[in-house]
Structure 1
Amino acid sequence: MKIAALSDIHGNLPALEAVLDDIGQRGADVVVNLGDMLSGPLYPSQTADRLMQLGLPTIRGNHERQLLAADPSRMGPSDRFARAALSRAHLAWVRELPATLWLESDVLLVHGTPQDDLSYFLETVTADGCRTATHGEVGRRAADVEATLILCGHTHLQRSMKLADGRLIVNPGSVGLPAYEDSHPFAHRMETGSPHARYASITRTPDGWEAVFRTVEYDWHAAAEQAASNGRPDWEAALRTGYC
Protein backbone atom coordinates (compact mmCIF):
# COMPACT_ATOMS: atom_id res chain seq x y z
CA MET A 1 0.00 0.00 0.00
CA LYS A 2 1.27 3.47 -0.92
CA ILE A 3 -0.24 6.52 0.78
CA ALA A 4 0.25 10.12 -0.31
CA ALA A 5 -0.33 12.33 2.73
CA LEU A 6 -1.29 16.00 2.40
CA SER A 7 -1.76 18.52 5.18
CA ASP A 8 -2.14 22.24 5.84
CA ILE A 9 -3.15 23.35 2.35
CA HIS A 10 -4.46 26.66 3.75
CA GLY A 11 -6.35 27.66 0.62
CA ASN A 12 -3.26 27.53 -1.59
CA LEU A 13 -4.87 25.99 -4.65
CA PRO A 14 -1.84 26.37 -7.00
CA ALA A 15 0.34 24.51 -4.49
CA LEU A 16 -2.31 21.80 -4.14
CA GLU A 17 -2.54 21.32 -7.90
CA ALA A 18 1.24 21.04 -8.18
CA VAL A 19 1.31 18.41 -5.45
CA LEU A 20 -1.53 16.46 -7.07
CA ASP A 21 0.35 16.50 -10.37
CA ASP A 22 3.47 15.18 -8.64
CA ILE A 23 1.45 12.42 -6.98
CA GLY A 24 -0.07 11.56 -10.34
CA GLN A 25 3.39 11.09 -11.82
CA ARG A 26 4.70 9.01 -8.92
CA GLY A 27 1.56 7.07 -8.07
CA ALA A 28 -0.34 6.36 -4.88
CA ASP A 29 -3.04 3.92 -3.88
CA VAL A 30 -4.76 6.57 -1.78
CA VAL A 31 -4.32 10.29 -1.08
CA VAL A 32 -5.29 11.51 2.39
CA ASN A 33 -5.88 15.02 3.71
CA LEU A 34 -4.96 15.85 7.31
CA GLY A 35 -6.77 19.18 7.72
CA ASP A 36 -6.25 22.94 7.84
CA MET A 37 -7.36 23.14 4.25
CA LEU A 38 -8.96 26.52 3.68
CA SER A 39 -7.96 29.25 6.13
CA GLY A 40 -5.75 31.99 4.75
CA PRO A 41 -5.80 34.95 2.36
CA LEU A 42 -5.58 32.94 -0.85
CA TYR A 43 -8.27 30.80 -2.54
CA PRO A 44 -10.48 29.25 0.16
CA SER A 45 -13.67 28.67 -1.85
CA GLN A 46 -11.85 27.38 -4.93
CA THR A 47 -9.80 25.03 -2.74
CA ALA A 48 -12.96 23.76 -1.07
CA ASP A 49 -14.54 23.10 -4.48
CA ARG A 50 -11.49 21.13 -5.59
CA LEU A 51 -11.29 19.04 -2.43
CA MET A 52 -15.01 18.28 -2.43
CA GLN A 53 -14.65 17.12 -6.03
CA LEU A 54 -11.71 14.87 -5.15
CA GLY A 55 -13.47 13.17 -2.24
CA LEU A 56 -10.25 12.25 -0.41
CA PRO A 57 -10.27 10.61 3.01
CA THR A 58 -10.18 13.84 5.02
CA ILE A 59 -10.13 15.00 8.63
CA ARG A 60 -10.65 18.47 10.00
CA GLY A 61 -7.88 20.50 11.60
CA ASN A 62 -8.03 23.20 14.21
CA HIS A 63 -8.78 25.80 11.53
CA GLU A 64 -11.81 23.85 10.30
CA ARG A 65 -13.08 23.74 13.87
CA GLN A 66 -12.43 27.47 14.24
CA LEU A 67 -14.19 28.24 10.93
CA LEU A 68 -17.41 26.84 12.37
CA ALA A 69 -17.37 29.14 15.40
CA ALA A 70 -20.56 31.13 15.88
CA ASP A 71 -19.04 34.63 15.80
CA PRO A 72 -16.78 35.43 12.80
CA SER A 73 -15.83 38.78 14.35
CA ARG A 74 -13.85 36.90 17.00
CA MET A 75 -11.89 34.81 14.48
CA GLY A 76 -8.29 35.38 13.51
CA PRO A 77 -7.70 37.04 10.12
CA SER A 78 -7.03 33.79 8.23
CA ASP A 79 -10.21 32.12 9.46
CA ARG A 80 -12.26 35.30 9.00
CA PHE A 81 -11.13 35.68 5.37
CA ALA A 82 -11.98 32.06 4.59
CA ARG A 83 -15.33 32.15 6.41
CA ALA A 84 -16.45 35.17 4.35
CA ALA A 85 -15.54 33.38 1.11
CA LEU A 86 -17.11 29.99 1.83
CA SER A 87 -20.64 29.03 0.87
CA ARG A 88 -23.17 27.20 3.02
CA ALA A 89 -22.38 24.04 1.05
CA HIS A 90 -18.68 24.42 1.84
CA LEU A 91 -19.37 24.89 5.54
CA ALA A 92 -21.76 21.93 5.59
CA TRP A 93 -18.99 19.77 4.12
CA VAL A 94 -16.51 20.99 6.73
CA ARG A 95 -19.03 20.34 9.51
CA GLU A 96 -19.27 16.67 8.57
CA LEU A 97 -15.53 15.97 8.66
CA PRO A 98 -14.24 13.77 11.51
CA ALA A 99 -11.51 14.90 13.90
CA THR A 100 -9.60 11.63 13.40
CA LEU A 101 -9.98 8.75 10.97
CA TRP A 102 -8.80 5.15 10.74
CA LEU A 103 -7.74 4.68 7.12
CA GLU A 104 -6.90 1.01 7.76
CA SER A 105 -7.11 -1.05 10.92
CA ASP A 106 -3.55 0.04 11.74
CA VAL A 107 -3.35 3.50 10.09
CA LEU A 108 -4.66 6.52 12.00
CA LEU A 109 -5.06 10.07 10.66
CA VAL A 110 -4.89 12.95 13.14
CA HIS A 111 -4.25 16.67 12.76
CA GLY A 112 -2.28 17.50 15.90
CA THR A 113 -2.22 14.49 18.22
CA PRO A 114 -4.85 11.80 18.78
CA GLN A 115 -6.14 13.82 21.72
CA ASP A 116 -5.91 17.45 20.56
CA ASP A 117 -5.87 19.29 17.22
CA LEU A 118 -3.77 22.14 18.67
CA SER A 119 -0.93 20.07 20.14
CA TYR A 120 2.26 19.30 18.25
CA PHE A 121 3.15 15.61 17.89
CA LEU A 122 6.79 15.62 16.78
CA GLU A 123 7.82 19.02 18.14
CA THR A 124 7.81 20.52 21.63
CA VAL A 125 7.34 24.23 22.32
CA THR A 126 8.88 25.77 25.44
CA ALA A 127 9.56 29.31 26.59
CA ASP A 128 12.86 29.02 24.66
CA GLY A 129 11.14 28.20 21.36
CA CYS A 130 10.42 25.05 19.38
CA ARG A 131 12.57 21.90 19.30
CA THR A 132 12.26 18.33 18.05
CA ALA A 133 10.30 16.23 20.53
CA THR A 134 12.05 13.40 22.35
CA HIS A 135 11.04 9.77 21.82
CA GLY A 136 9.58 9.79 25.31
CA GLU A 137 7.42 12.83 24.58
CA VAL A 138 6.20 11.39 21.31
CA GLY A 139 5.49 8.03 22.95
CA ARG A 140 3.32 9.70 25.59
CA ARG A 141 1.40 11.58 22.90
CA ALA A 142 0.87 8.37 20.95
CA ALA A 143 -0.33 6.81 24.22
CA ASP A 144 -1.91 3.40 23.65
CA VAL A 145 -3.00 4.01 20.04
CA GLU A 146 -2.77 0.60 18.37
CA ALA A 147 -1.55 1.76 14.97
CA THR A 148 1.58 0.88 13.04
CA LEU A 149 1.35 4.25 11.26
CA ILE A 150 0.05 7.58 12.56
CA LEU A 151 -0.15 10.48 10.10
CA CYS A 152 -0.27 13.98 11.59
CA GLY A 153 -0.03 17.58 10.44
CA HIS A 154 -0.38 20.99 12.09
CA THR A 155 3.29 22.02 12.45
CA HIS A 156 3.97 22.40 8.70
CA LEU A 157 7.34 20.66 9.17
CA GLN A 158 8.26 17.42 7.40
CA ARG A 159 9.37 14.98 10.05
CA SER A 160 9.03 11.32 11.03
CA MET A 161 9.87 9.29 14.11
CA LYS A 162 9.82 5.55 14.74
CA LEU A 163 9.09 4.55 18.32
CA ALA A 164 10.77 1.64 20.09
CA ASP A 165 7.65 -0.49 19.60
CA GLY A 166 7.85 0.04 15.81
CA ARG A 167 5.07 2.58 15.42
CA LEU A 168 5.89 5.25 12.83
CA ILE A 169 4.60 8.83 13.13
CA VAL A 170 4.86 10.94 9.98
CA ASN A 171 4.15 14.63 9.39
CA PRO A 172 4.11 15.35 5.63
CA GLY A 173 4.65 19.08 6.04
CA SER A 174 2.47 21.80 4.58
CA VAL A 175 1.19 21.91 1.03
CA GLY A 176 0.39 25.59 1.15
CA LEU A 177 2.20 27.59 3.86
CA PRO A 178 5.94 27.06 4.49
CA ALA A 179 6.29 29.30 7.57
CA TYR A 180 4.18 30.85 10.32
CA GLU A 181 4.35 32.39 13.77
CA ASP A 182 2.24 31.30 16.74
CA SER A 183 1.85 32.23 20.39
CA HIS A 184 0.50 28.89 21.73
CA PRO A 185 1.67 27.77 24.25
CA PHE A 186 4.64 30.15 23.90
CA ALA A 187 5.72 32.47 21.10
CA HIS A 188 7.56 30.53 18.38
CA ARG A 189 8.18 30.31 14.65
CA MET A 190 7.83 27.33 12.33
CA GLU A 191 9.99 27.85 9.22
CA THR A 192 10.90 25.40 6.47
CA GLY A 193 13.43 27.69 4.80
CA SER A 194 12.11 27.36 1.24
CA PRO A 195 8.83 28.22 -0.51
CA HIS A 196 8.11 24.74 -1.89
CA ALA A 197 4.87 22.81 -1.47
CA ARG A 198 5.36 19.67 0.60
CA TYR A 199 3.83 16.24 1.08
CA ALA A 200 4.89 12.69 1.99
CA SER A 201 4.67 9.29 0.35
CA ILE A 202 4.45 6.39 2.79
CA THR A 203 4.71 2.78 1.60
CA ARG A 204 3.99 -0.45 3.44
CA THR A 205 6.90 -2.86 2.93
CA PRO A 206 7.72 -6.32 4.34
CA ASP A 207 9.92 -4.50 6.87
CA GLY A 208 7.28 -1.94 7.87
CA TRP A 209 6.32 1.52 6.72
CA GLU A 210 8.80 3.72 4.85
CA ALA A 211 8.28 7.47 4.38
CA VAL A 212 9.69 9.65 1.60
CA PHE A 213 9.29 13.41 1.79
CA ARG A 214 8.61 15.42 -1.35
CA THR A 215 9.12 19.12 -2.10
CA VAL A 216 7.37 20.50 -5.17
CA GLU A 217 7.85 23.70 -7.14
CA TYR A 218 4.89 25.90 -8.09
CA ASP A 219 4.34 29.61 -8.77
CA TRP A 220 4.77 30.79 -5.18
CA HIS A 221 5.34 34.37 -6.30
CA ALA A 222 1.79 34.50 -7.67
CA ALA A 223 0.49 33.07 -4.39
CA ALA A 224 2.49 35.67 -2.47
CA GLU A 225 1.03 38.45 -4.61
CA GLN A 226 -2.46 37.15 -3.86
CA ALA A 227 -1.73 37.27 -0.14
CA ALA A 228 -0.37 40.79 -0.44
CA SER A 229 -3.41 41.95 -2.39
CA ASN A 230 -5.58 40.61 0.44
CA GLY A 231 -3.68 42.58 3.07
CA ARG A 232 -1.38 39.91 4.48
CA PRO A 233 2.29 40.90 4.13
CA ASP A 234 3.18 38.21 6.69
CA TRP A 235 1.86 35.53 4.35
CA GLU A 236 3.51 37.20 1.38
CA ALA A 237 6.92 36.90 3.03
CA ALA A 238 6.34 33.30 4.16
CA LEU A 239 5.16 32.18 0.73
CA ARG A 240 8.10 33.76 -1.09
CA THR A 241 10.84 32.59 1.25
CA GLY A 242 9.78 29.87 3.69
CA TYR A 243 10.68 32.22 6.52
CA CYS A 244 8.56 34.51 8.69
Structure 2
Amino acid sequence: MRFAAIADVHGNCAALQAVLEDIAALGIRNIVNLGDCLSGPLEAGRTADLMLLLDMNATVTVRGNHDRYLVETPPGALAPSDSHAYSQLSQRHFDWLRRLPFSAVYRGEVFLCHATPQDDGVYWLEKVSNDGAPFLRPAAEIEAMAQGIDQPLILCGHSHVARAVQLSDGRLIVNPGSVGCPAYDDDKPFFHKVETGHSMASYAILEKTAAGWVPEFRNVLYDHMAMSRLAAENGRPDWAMALATGRVE
Protein backbone atom coordinates (compact mmCIF):
# COMPACT_ATOMS: atom_id res chain seq x y z
CA MET A 1 0.00 0.00 0.00
CA ARG A 2 1.25 3.46 -0.92
CA PHE A 3 -0.60 6.72 -0.47
CA ALA A 4 -0.07 10.43 0.22
CA ALA A 5 -0.94 12.38 3.37
CA ILE A 6 -1.60 16.12 3.34
CA ALA A 7 -2.47 18.42 6.22
CA ASP A 8 -2.91 22.07 7.17
CA VAL A 9 -3.54 23.53 3.72
CA HIS A 10 -5.01 26.68 5.32
CA GLY A 11 -6.57 28.05 2.15
CA ASN A 12 -3.32 28.03 0.18
CA CYS A 13 -4.72 26.79 -3.12
CA ALA A 14 -1.47 27.35 -5.04
CA ALA A 15 0.46 25.16 -2.61
CA LEU A 16 -2.24 22.49 -2.70
CA GLN A 17 -2.26 22.42 -6.50
CA ALA A 18 1.55 22.03 -6.57
CA VAL A 19 1.38 19.16 -4.08
CA LEU A 20 -1.37 17.41 -6.01
CA GLU A 21 0.68 17.69 -9.19
CA ASP A 22 3.69 16.20 -7.40
CA ILE A 23 1.57 13.34 -6.05
CA ALA A 24 0.18 12.62 -9.53
CA ALA A 25 3.67 12.71 -11.06
CA LEU A 26 4.70 9.97 -8.64
CA GLY A 27 1.81 7.82 -9.82
CA ILE A 28 0.01 7.96 -6.48
CA ARG A 29 -3.79 8.02 -6.66
CA ASN A 30 -4.83 7.77 -3.02
CA ILE A 31 -4.69 10.69 -0.58
CA VAL A 32 -5.73 11.32 3.01
CA ASN A 33 -6.24 14.82 4.37
CA LEU A 34 -5.69 15.62 8.05
CA GLY A 35 -7.65 18.84 8.25
CA ASP A 36 -7.36 22.59 8.72
CA CYS A 37 -8.22 23.00 5.09
CA LEU A 38 -9.41 26.56 4.60
CA SER A 39 -8.61 29.02 7.39
CA GLY A 40 -6.25 31.82 6.36
CA PRO A 41 -6.08 35.14 4.47
CA LEU A 42 -5.66 33.48 1.09
CA GLU A 43 -8.04 31.59 -1.23
CA ALA A 44 -10.43 29.61 0.92
CA GLY A 45 -13.16 29.43 -1.73
CA ARG A 46 -10.88 28.07 -4.47
CA THR A 47 -9.31 25.66 -2.00
CA ALA A 48 -12.73 24.44 -0.87
CA ASP A 49 -13.76 23.79 -4.48
CA LEU A 50 -10.63 21.70 -4.95
CA MET A 51 -11.27 19.85 -1.70
CA LEU A 52 -14.76 18.94 -2.90
CA LEU A 53 -13.24 17.48 -6.08
CA LEU A 54 -10.83 15.44 -3.98
CA ASP A 55 -13.77 14.27 -1.89
CA MET A 56 -15.46 13.01 -5.05
CA ASN A 57 -12.29 11.01 -5.79
CA ALA A 58 -12.56 9.21 -2.43
CA THR A 59 -10.02 11.28 -0.52
CA VAL A 60 -10.55 10.68 3.21
CA THR A 61 -10.56 13.95 5.16
CA VAL A 62 -10.80 14.48 8.91
CA ARG A 63 -11.82 17.71 10.59
CA GLY A 64 -9.26 20.16 11.96
CA ASN A 65 -9.83 22.65 14.75
CA HIS A 66 -10.11 25.54 12.29
CA ASP A 67 -12.55 23.55 10.16
CA ARG A 68 -14.64 23.18 13.30
CA TYR A 69 -14.44 26.88 14.12
CA LEU A 70 -15.84 27.74 10.70
CA VAL A 71 -19.07 25.81 11.36
CA GLU A 72 -19.43 26.18 15.14
CA THR A 73 -18.36 29.76 15.88
CA PRO A 74 -20.71 32.68 15.20
CA PRO A 75 -19.31 34.69 12.26
CA GLY A 76 -18.84 37.82 14.35
CA ALA A 77 -16.72 35.93 16.88
CA LEU A 78 -14.32 34.32 14.41
CA ALA A 79 -10.61 35.10 14.59
CA PRO A 80 -9.20 37.02 11.58
CA SER A 81 -7.93 34.02 9.58
CA ASP A 82 -11.17 32.11 10.10
CA SER A 83 -13.25 35.19 9.33
CA HIS A 84 -11.45 35.78 6.05
CA ALA A 85 -12.04 32.17 5.02
CA TYR A 86 -15.68 32.28 6.13
CA SER A 87 -16.41 35.24 3.84
CA GLN A 88 -15.33 33.22 0.78
CA LEU A 89 -17.31 30.05 1.44
CA SER A 90 -20.67 28.99 0.08
CA GLN A 91 -23.31 26.71 1.58
CA ARG A 92 -21.93 23.62 -0.16
CA HIS A 93 -18.54 24.27 1.45
CA PHE A 94 -20.07 24.57 4.91
CA ASP A 95 -22.10 21.40 4.32
CA TRP A 96 -18.88 19.56 3.46
CA LEU A 97 -17.13 20.85 6.57
CA ARG A 98 -20.01 19.71 8.76
CA ARG A 99 -19.76 16.19 7.36
CA LEU A 100 -16.09 15.77 8.22
CA PRO A 101 -15.41 13.24 11.01
CA PHE A 102 -13.21 13.98 14.00
CA SER A 103 -11.12 10.88 13.20
CA ALA A 104 -11.16 7.99 10.74
CA VAL A 105 -9.51 4.67 9.95
CA TYR A 106 -8.14 4.34 6.44
CA ARG A 107 -8.19 0.90 4.84
CA GLY A 108 -8.25 -0.74 8.26
CA GLU A 109 -4.59 0.01 8.92
CA VAL A 110 -4.16 3.76 9.34
CA PHE A 111 -5.64 5.94 12.09
CA LEU A 112 -6.26 9.55 11.07
CA CYS A 113 -6.82 12.58 13.27
CA HIS A 114 -5.95 16.26 13.07
CA ALA A 115 -4.14 16.77 16.36
CA THR A 116 -4.66 14.02 18.96
CA PRO A 117 -7.29 11.29 19.28
CA GLN A 118 -8.77 13.21 22.20
CA ASP A 119 -8.51 16.90 21.21
CA ASP A 120 -8.26 18.70 17.87
CA GLY A 121 -6.36 21.62 19.40
CA VAL A 122 -3.44 19.93 21.21
CA TYR A 123 -0.06 19.05 19.75
CA TRP A 124 0.58 15.31 19.89
CA LEU A 125 4.27 15.04 19.07
CA GLU A 126 5.37 18.41 20.41
CA LYS A 127 5.08 20.31 23.65
CA VAL A 128 5.67 23.99 24.44
CA SER A 129 7.84 25.03 27.37
CA ASN A 130 6.84 27.86 29.72
CA ASP A 131 9.23 30.18 27.89
CA GLY A 132 7.64 29.41 24.52
CA ALA A 133 10.02 26.85 23.03
CA PRO A 134 8.43 23.88 21.20
CA PHE A 135 10.18 20.55 21.79
CA LEU A 136 9.59 16.85 21.20
CA ARG A 137 6.98 15.64 23.67
CA PRO A 138 8.22 12.99 26.14
CA ALA A 139 7.73 9.46 24.88
CA ALA A 140 5.49 8.41 27.77
CA GLU A 141 3.06 11.26 27.03
CA ILE A 142 2.95 10.46 23.32
CA GLU A 143 2.30 6.80 24.10
CA ALA A 144 -0.46 7.63 26.58
CA MET A 145 -2.38 9.52 23.91
CA ALA A 146 -2.10 6.51 21.59
CA GLN A 147 -3.77 4.09 23.99
CA GLY A 148 -6.66 2.25 22.40
CA ILE A 149 -5.46 2.76 18.83
CA ASP A 150 -4.70 -0.60 17.25
CA GLN A 151 -3.61 0.52 13.79
CA PRO A 152 0.13 0.23 13.06
CA LEU A 153 0.28 3.63 11.35
CA ILE A 154 -1.11 6.79 12.94
CA LEU A 155 -1.26 10.15 11.14
CA CYS A 156 -1.76 13.57 12.67
CA GLY A 157 -1.20 17.20 11.75
CA HIS A 158 -1.84 20.49 13.59
CA SER A 159 1.72 21.46 14.55
CA HIS A 160 2.84 21.90 10.90
CA VAL A 161 6.07 20.09 11.83
CA ALA A 162 7.01 17.14 9.61
CA ARG A 163 8.02 14.37 12.00
CA ALA A 164 7.89 10.62 12.59
CA VAL A 165 7.84 9.07 16.07
CA GLN A 166 8.05 5.33 16.66
CA LEU A 167 6.26 3.93 19.71
CA SER A 168 7.71 1.23 21.91
CA ASP A 169 5.42 -1.41 20.40
CA GLY A 170 6.44 -0.51 16.84
CA ARG A 171 3.48 1.66 15.89
CA LEU A 172 4.49 4.73 13.91
CA ILE A 173 3.04 8.24 14.27
CA VAL A 174 3.66 10.59 11.35
CA ASN A 175 2.93 14.28 10.88
CA PRO A 176 3.34 15.14 7.18
CA GLY A 177 3.93 18.85 7.81
CA SER A 178 1.88 21.70 6.38
CA VAL A 179 0.94 22.13 2.74
CA GLY A 180 0.10 25.79 3.02
CA CYS A 181 1.48 27.46 6.16
CA PRO A 182 5.21 27.02 6.85
CA ALA A 183 5.34 29.24 9.95
CA TYR A 184 3.04 30.77 12.54
CA ASP A 185 2.81 31.92 16.13
CA ASP A 186 0.21 30.97 18.72
CA ASP A 187 -0.60 31.94 22.30
CA LYS A 188 -1.73 28.49 23.49
CA PRO A 189 -0.64 26.96 25.79
CA PHE A 190 2.05 29.68 25.94
CA PHE A 191 3.12 32.14 23.28
CA HIS A 192 5.37 30.31 20.83
CA LYS A 193 6.54 30.24 17.23
CA VAL A 194 6.64 27.32 14.83
CA GLU A 195 9.01 27.90 11.91
CA THR A 196 10.15 25.52 9.18
CA GLY A 197 12.66 28.01 7.81
CA HIS A 198 11.56 27.41 4.19
CA SER A 199 8.72 28.49 1.91
CA MET A 200 7.93 25.14 0.29
CA ALA A 201 4.73 23.11 0.57
CA SER A 202 5.17 19.97 2.66
CA TYR A 203 3.48 16.58 2.63
CA ALA A 204 4.34 12.90 3.07
CA ILE A 205 4.12 9.62 1.22
CA LEU A 206 3.46 6.50 3.30
CA GLU A 207 4.46 3.09 1.98
CA LYS A 208 3.89 -0.29 3.55
CA THR A 209 6.95 -2.50 3.11
CA ALA A 210 7.81 -6.00 4.30
CA ALA A 211 9.57 -4.41 7.27
CA GLY A 212 6.73 -2.01 8.14
CA TRP A 213 5.50 1.47 7.27
CA VAL A 214 8.02 3.95 5.86
CA PRO A 215 7.35 7.70 5.51
CA GLU A 216 8.89 9.86 2.81
CA PHE A 217 8.70 13.58 3.56
CA ARG A 218 8.50 15.79 0.50
CA ASN A 219 8.84 19.54 -0.05
CA VAL A 220 7.42 21.12 -3.20
CA LEU A 221 8.27 24.46 -4.79
CA TYR A 222 5.40 26.71 -5.89
CA ASP A 223 4.80 30.42 -6.41
CA HIS A 224 4.88 31.19 -2.71
CA MET A 225 5.55 34.88 -3.30
CA ALA A 226 2.20 35.25 -5.06
CA MET A 227 0.54 33.94 -1.91
CA SER A 228 2.76 36.13 0.27
CA ARG A 229 1.67 39.21 -1.70
CA LEU A 230 -1.97 38.15 -1.41
CA ALA A 231 -1.65 37.85 2.36
CA ALA A 232 -0.12 41.33 2.51
CA GLU A 233 -2.92 42.75 0.33
CA ASN A 234 -5.41 41.20 2.75
CA GLY A 235 -3.83 42.97 5.72
CA ARG A 236 -1.82 40.08 7.12
CA PRO A 237 1.91 40.96 7.14
CA ASP A 238 2.52 38.07 9.54
CA TRP A 239 1.26 35.57 6.98
CA ALA A 240 3.11 37.40 4.21
CA MET A 241 6.43 36.91 6.00
CA ALA A 242 5.66 33.31 6.92
CA LEU A 243 4.81 32.41 3.33
CA ALA A 244 7.86 34.23 1.95
CA THR A 245 10.45 32.90 4.39
CA GLY A 246 9.09 30.12 6.59
CA ARG A 247 9.72 32.37 9.59
CA VAL A 248 7.73 34.77 11.76
CA GLU A 249 8.87 37.94 13.48
What TM-score, normalized by structure 1, do the two folds share?
A: 0.98
Match 1:161 to one of 144, 162, 165: 165
Q: Deviations over 1:26-73 (max 9, x none)?
A: 132511110000000100000000110121111110001000124111
1:107 matched to 2:110? The reply is: yes
Give, as a single letter, the amino acid of the residue that structure 1 aligns with 2:158.
H
Q: Could you tell me how far 1:142 is from its partner in structure 2?
A: 1.0
How do 1:28-177 and structure 2 match up within 5 A? Answer: 28-55=28-55, 56-128=59-131, 129-177=133-181
Q: Identify unmatched segments of 5+ residues in structure 1.
A: none
Q: Tell me the residue number matched to 1:25.
A: 25
Give, as a single letter, the amino acid of the residue that structure 1 aligns with 2:174.
V
Match 1:236 to one of 235, 240, 247: 240
Q: Tell me the residue number matched to 1:198.
A: 202
Partners of 2:147 and 2:173 in 1: how far apart? Answer: 12
Partners of 1:152 and 1:183 in 2: how far apart? Answer: 21
Q: Once superposed, which parts of structure 1, at least 4 consecutive aligned residues long, lie more than 2 Å away?
A: none
Secondary structure of 1:68's counterpart equals helix
Give, as a single letter, the amino acid of the residue that structure 1 aligns with 2:68.
R
Q: Deviations over 1:134-184 (max 9, x none)?
A: 221211111221110001000001000111101000000000000000011
Q: Identify unmatched segments of 5+ residues in structure 2.
A: none
Partners of 1:155 and 1:43 in 2: how far apart? Answer: 21
Partners of 2:170 and 2:61 in 1: how far apart? Answer: 25
Share of identical aligned residues, percent?
48
Secondary structure of 1:198's counterpart equals strand
| Paired positions, count | 244
What TM-score, normalized by structure 2, do the two folds share?
A: 0.96
Give, as a single letter, the amino acid of the residue that structure 1 aligns with 2:53.
Q
Partners of 2:215 and 2:137 in 1: how far apart? Answer: 18
Give, as a single letter, the amino acid of the residue that structure 2 aligns with 1:5.
A
Mean CA deviation greater in 148-157 or 27-36: 27-36
Give, as a single letter, the amino acid of the residue that structure 2 aligns with 1:175.
V
Q: Tell me the residue number matched to 2:227.
A: 223
Partners of 1:70 and 1:169 in 2: how far apart? Answer: 30
Partners of 2:147 and 2:77 in 1: how far apart? Answer: 34
Q: Deviations over 1:83-142 (max 9, x none)?
A: 111001110110011010110222111000011100111101121321011221211111
What root-mean-square deviation, in Å, do the aligned CA atoms of Structure 1 and Structure 2 show?
0.9
